[in-house]
Amino acid sequence: MFINGVWIQEGSRGTFPVTNPSNGTVVRKVADGGREEANAAIAAAAKAFPDWAAQTAHKRSALLYQAYQVLISRKDQLAELLTLEQGKPLRAATTEVQYAADFLLWFAEEAKRIYGETIPSARPDQRFLVRHEPVGVVAAVTPWNYPISMVTRKLGPALAAGCTVVLKPAEATPLCAIEMVKIFEEVGLPAGVVNLVTGSDPKPIGEEFVTNPLVRKLTFTGSTPVGKMLAGKAAGNMKRVSCELGGHAPFIVCQDADPVHAAKGLQLVKFLNTGQACISPNRIFVHESMVEAFKNTLVERVSKMKAGNGLEQGVSIGPLVNDAAVAKVDAQVQDAIAKGAEIVCGGERLTANGLDRGHFYAPTVLNAIKPAMTIYREETFGPVAAIVPYGDDDDVLAMANDTNYGLAAYVYTQNLSRAMRLYEGLNFGIIGINDINPSGASAPFGGMKNSGIGREGAREGISEYLETKLGGFSI
């Protein structure tokens, strides 16, 4: 933990182990903190806030830029650590570290663009001025599936805006967060500006975050139930909240699409991070005229995927986070099969060649998915491609929107009018049109409905950390 510029190796609850999900070995032990550390970290952040907020935007920008440079210089080292604690293949880990760095660079630039406004008044003797000020102490909670980029996507804009921060990373993946905080320390962020509380039990830390009056904003990325619970409590204390929550993305392959191209895209995005991504396609609507062609290409590509330790050459798919995740994925697959789904490939836990020491599930393709199946409604967060054949454009739009989630959606079509109709008609925050990676530091990321509140990245990302102050001047 890192509180008020001091590293703490052992917390009030001692330490807890961080394990490698591909083989169960302990990577490192980390300080186990609770409510008292969260409280101390918030106090440190509150003390540091006035001076940090008073720094010039240029100064904050320069520090963020330096942090960006150091992160880039340690890309390989951090990618390896990321693979060790999270399991994703090294190449994907390297891409994530770059993505994490992109947010530091973007918000180093945005720090200097927090513009105010002058507004004409109806009264001749009056002038209106608007300025934007940092909200204050930010409590940030991040998940394990993207252990470093979710940290910079929050800390980049918060620090750029002039806020101070207390970060709680996921229990499963605190190591990259620790390394990121070390970088902020190295480049000279003053004590108390960034604080880190690690812990094996998130509840007391979360409770302190949402009840302590010194916290002015909660930014949370994780599951919808936890996000709703924390947002509810934060609302009771009138704190600002942004939430990036779960998803249930539709992936629509229209009758005019190239089924081979679409299947390649689906394979890449569906099995990315072993399906453990909030923007992972969960319902794959394929026009009935091309189900066979789509399925064949998909299976051909999926059968070449090699599961294993992400540090090994040739491994293209890593483990799930833990055994509970394996059990959840398998339960969804068994439920679908019992209700009539066709199993095209996979559908079982992988145990051969030492994989039983980790949490591996075979990349799976199911066809003939129906609304009554659990997978049609619940986020899978695992390597299962669930194909739903459809016949009509209007039907598919209604089916795609028939979910409580609203994060990402994908469309494959070569018809411009159809692309525009679906882009406008889909009730999701992020729409990829023939595009499996509709994200980047410059683009607003976030969801509608149960997928959350607010946007990260982009011009909008920094406004989540700013208050608006009006000045009315009578002259």
Catalytic residues, by residue number, are: 244, 278
Confirm if 319 and 382 have CB atoms less than 8 A apart.
no
Q: Check binding of 278 to ligand NAP (CB under 6 A).
A: yes
The beta-strand segments (E) located in 212-294 are 215-221, 240-244, 249-253, 281-287
| Contact status: 419 vs ligand NAP (CB under 6 A) | no
Residue 347 in the binding site for ligand NAP (CB under 6 A): no
Stretch that binds ligand NAP, among 57-65, 73-81, 242-250, 256-264 (CB under 6 A): 242-250
Q: Which residue is nearest to ligand NAP (CB)?
A: 206
Distance in Å, CB of 222 to ligand NAP, minimum: 3
Q: Could you give the C-alpha distances from 28 to 17, 172, 244, in angstroms and in order?
A: 6, 11, 28
Tokens at 439, concatenated: 């994200």
Rule CB under 6 A: say whether 170 interacts with ligand NAP: yes
Which of 33, 87, 136, 247 lies at the binding interface for ligand NAP (CB under 6 A)? 247
**At its nearest, how many Å lie between ligand NAP and the CB of residue 405?**
9
Distance of CA 358 to the CA centre of its chain: 23
CB-nearer residue toward ligand NAP: 259 or 275: 275
Tokens 């398998």 identify what position?
Answer: 330
**Residue 413 in the binding site for ligand NAP (CB under 6 A):** no
- Cβ distance 169 to 69 under 8 Å? no
**Site for ligand NAP, residues 142 to 161, rule: CB under 6 A:** 142-146
Q: Which residue has the tokens 């779960």?
A: 246
Residue 443 CB, nearest distance to ligand NAP (Å)? Answer: 13
- Judged by CB under 6 A, how many residues of this single chain contact ligand NAP? 29
Shortest Å, Cβ 217 to ligand NAP? 15
Minimum distance of ligand NAP from residue 389's CB (angstroms): 26
- Decide: is 41 part of the binding site for ligand NAP (CB under 6 A): no
* Side-chain half-sphere CA neighbours of 260 within 13 A: 1
Of 18 and 230, which CB lies nearer to ligand NAP in the complex structure?
230
Q: Write down the H helix ranges in 253-290.
A: 259-270
Stretch that binds ligand NAP, among 17-25, 239-247, 300-308, 338-346 (CB under 6 A): 239-247
Q: 324 or 372, CB closer to ligand NAP?
A: 324
Q: Does 244 bind ligand NAP (CB under 6 A)?
A: yes
Shortest approach of ligand NAP to residue 119 CB, angstroms?
A: 34
Interacting positions 171-230 with ligand NAP (CB under 6 A):
171-172, 202-203, 205-206, 221-223, 226, 230
- In the chain, the largest separation of any two C-alpha atoms, in whole Å, equals 80
Applying CB under 6 A, does 257 fall inside the site for ligand NAP?
Answer: no
Neighbours of 270 (CB within 10 A): 28
- The residue type at 347: G
Pairing state of beta strands 281-287 and 249-253?
Answer: parallel
Any contact of residue 407 with ligand NAP (CB under 6 A)? yes
Q: Which residues pair with 381 in a beta bridge?
A: none
Judged by beta carbon, residue 41 or residue 407, the one nearer ligand NAP is 407
Residue span binding ligand NAP (CB under 6 A) among the ranges 89-97, 163-171, 182-190, 417-425: 163-171
Nearer to ligand NAP, 79 or 230 (CB): 230
Question: At closest approach, how far in Å is the CB of 129 from ligand NAP?
Answer: 35
Is position 246 an interface residue for ligand NAP (rule: CB under 6 A)? yes
Nearer to ligand NAP, 134 or 447 (CB): 447
Residues facing residue 285 across a β-bridge: 252, 388
DSSP line for 20-70: -TTT--EEEEEE---HHHHHHHHHHHHHHHHHHHHS-HHHHHHHHHHHHHH
Q: By C-beta, is 114 or 284 nearer to ligand NAP?
A: 284
CA distances from 147 to 84, 183, 247, 271 (A): 11, 15, 18, 18
Q: How far is CA 319 from CA 358, 360, 363, in A?
A: 7, 5, 11
Q: Which is nearer to ligand NAP, 17 or 188 (CB)?
A: 17
- Nearest approach in angstroms of CB 170 to ligand NAP is 3
- What is the distance of C-alpha 328 from the center of its chain? 20
Interacting residues with ligand NAP (CB under 6 A): 141-146, 168, 170-172, 202-203, 205-206, 221-223, 226, 230, 244-247, 278, 379, 381, 407, 447, 452
